Amino acid sequence: MGRGPAWERPRPHPRLAPTPGFLLPAREELPFLSALRARLRRRSRKAGRGRACALRGSAKPPAPARDPGPGRSVARSASPPARQSVCRSVSPSSGAIMAEAASQVLLGSGLTILSQPLMYVKVLVQVGYEPLPPTMGRNIFGRQVCQLPGLFCYAQHIMTIDGKCGLFKGLTPRLCSGAIGTVVHSKVLQRYQDCDNAEELKQGLATPPQKDVPSTFDRVIKETTREMMARSAATLVTHPFHVITLRSMVQFIGRETKYCGLCDSIITIYREEGILGFFAGLIPRLLGDIISLWLCNSLAYLVNTYALESGVSTMNEMKSYSQAVTGFFASMLTYPFVLISNLMAVNNCGLVGGCPPYAPIYSSWLDCWCALQKEGNLSRGNSLFFRKVPFGKTYCCDLRMLI
């Protein structure tokens, strides 16, 4: 049996990946922010479907044909069938699509501003910059260990040097990246949706609405493939802004002013590195996003299908949150790709934080991976709390880093 018309299509199953705002990769923001973003977006889509059903219910039936009388022929109506006319009347307009995209941009911009200090500290830790010496503290089990400063101490150190505004370095290119990425992501998914609607209208399918459609693995593959294409397109378009954001933050180490404005940064990168400079670290970032997406959706499908029973209210509520849990687990496994992408974006760019002694000159991202793996630093910056000094490392006060 074919699928129903566009307004009768059931709500996407919660085990599939929610559409992100794509302001930044999911592994670079707090898990509860990603869950909040996805929950608000699903609520807006549900409201849009409710308005479409209301319009469909209020559509008037066609008027009965008048009797032409004896000796007269009935002229064939040039109007399309009633079902197709209703489809055109309830299809989402371009204004509604743009309004939904605008709401996603505004929501994402607010979350980006709130998480900017967190990302700023995280990037500096990923590079290996440790401005404060370690102190004796206790871990979560109460054991006394030698710990590095956490998020709040690190942020307080930045504020003592640059003030509160210093915590928001690189915010402008990051906001541009988020807005453009959101639009590109929604446009790609809307293109797929338009193709499905055109195919249904062409085939003339008319099936009764189905309230509960089982989610098969084939459907998971289809939806995940579309989400992968949308994310990859958004990442490809917004990666130059991501590079500028990282380099603007790393300037704090050497107190440089090389990447100050957005336009000046674009000119500087193009003059020194050419077009390829805008895409430094793109390959590990794309690989990390793709692996994380497929791993997250596959685990969510297995958990919702085989671990949680359907028909129970508590189980249905748990299924709605299984995506966030599996997404967090997938982000932990693919974190090395994020770290290497950020390091390659600032490596050998003329800044102190991208050159020795903080980082050697890497020939490729695979060389960077092997070097970090030998040093045991593939998880550097993954946690900003309870940061203990790695075994065999000592703190150097002159370089302000662990050696």
Q: Where are the alpha helices (DSSP H) in 59-170?
A: 82-90, 94-127, 151-162
20 has a pLDDT exceeding 50? no
Among 199-213, 220-234, 373-387, the least confident range = 199-213
- Residue tagged 């079902």 (tokens): 83
User: What is the arithmetic mean of pLDDT over 255-259?
Assistant: 92
Whether the per-residue pLDDT at 31 is higher than 90: the answer is no
Tell whether the model's pLDDT for residue 291 goes beyond 90: yes
Tell me the per-residue pLDDT of 66-123, one tens digit each, with 9 for 90 and over: 544 444 444 444 444 444 433 343 345 556 666 777 788 888 889 999 999 999 999 9
Does residue 212 carry a pLDDT above 50?
no
Q: Which helix (H) or strand (E) holds 2?
A: none
Residue found by looking up tokens 């299984």 in the block: 322
- The pLDDT-based confidence of 359 (bands split at 50, 70, 90) is confident
Looking up tokens 């909040």 gives 36
Average pLDDT over residues 126-141: 84
pLDDT in tens, 294-339: 999 999 888 888 877 655 556 666 766 787 888 889 999 999 999 9
Give the confidence band of 148 by pLDDT, cuts at 50, 70, 90: confident
DSSP 138: E
Confidence of residue 142 (pLDDT cuts 50, 70, 90): confident
Predicted local confidence at residue 94, as pLDDT = 58
**Across residues 16-35, what is the average pLDDT?**
45
pLDDT (0 to 100) of residue 24: 39
More confident residue, 127 or 321: 127
- pLDDT grade for 40, boundaries at 50, 70 and 90: low
Instruction: Assess contact for 149 and 132: CB atoms under 8 A.
Output: yes
- In angstroms, rounded to a whole number, what is the distance separating the alpha carbons of residues 23 and 234? 9
Mean pLDDT of the chain: 78
Q: What is the pLDDT of residue 304?
A: 83
What's the whole-number mean pLDDT along residues 267-293?
95
Whether pLDDT at 201 is above 90? no
Whether 17 has a pLDDT exceeding 60, the answer reads no
CATH 1.50.40.10 describes domain 6-55+93-381 = yes
Q: Which residue has the higher pLDDT, 192 or 393?
A: 192
Task: Round the CA-based radius of gyration of the chain to a whole number and report it.
Answer: 26
Distance CA 89, CA 92 (A): 9
Determine how many CB atoms are found less than 10 A away from the CB of residue 269.
22
Contact 275, 235 (CB under 8 A): no
In whole angstroms, how far apart are CA 198 and each of 82, 87, 204, 227? 17, 11, 10, 20
Mean pLDDT of 332-358: 92
66, amino acid identity = R
Give the pLDDT score at 127.
Answer: 92
* pLDDT tens per residue across span 361-376: 999 999 999 999 998 8
Could you tell me the two tokens for 272?
Answer: 């020194």
| Structure-block tokens of residue 116 | 């900017």
Q: Domain segments of the chain: what residues?
A: 6-55+93-381
Residue 50: per-residue pLDDT = 54
For 7-26, what is the mean pLDDT? 43
> In terms of Cα–Cα distance, which of 266, 247, 268 is closest to 120?
247
How far from 283 is each of 58, 310, 382, CA to CA, in Å?
A: 51, 40, 20
- The more confident residue out of 197 and 314 is 197
Q: In the structure, what pLDDT confidence band is assigned to residue 38 with cuts at 50, 70 and 90?
A: low
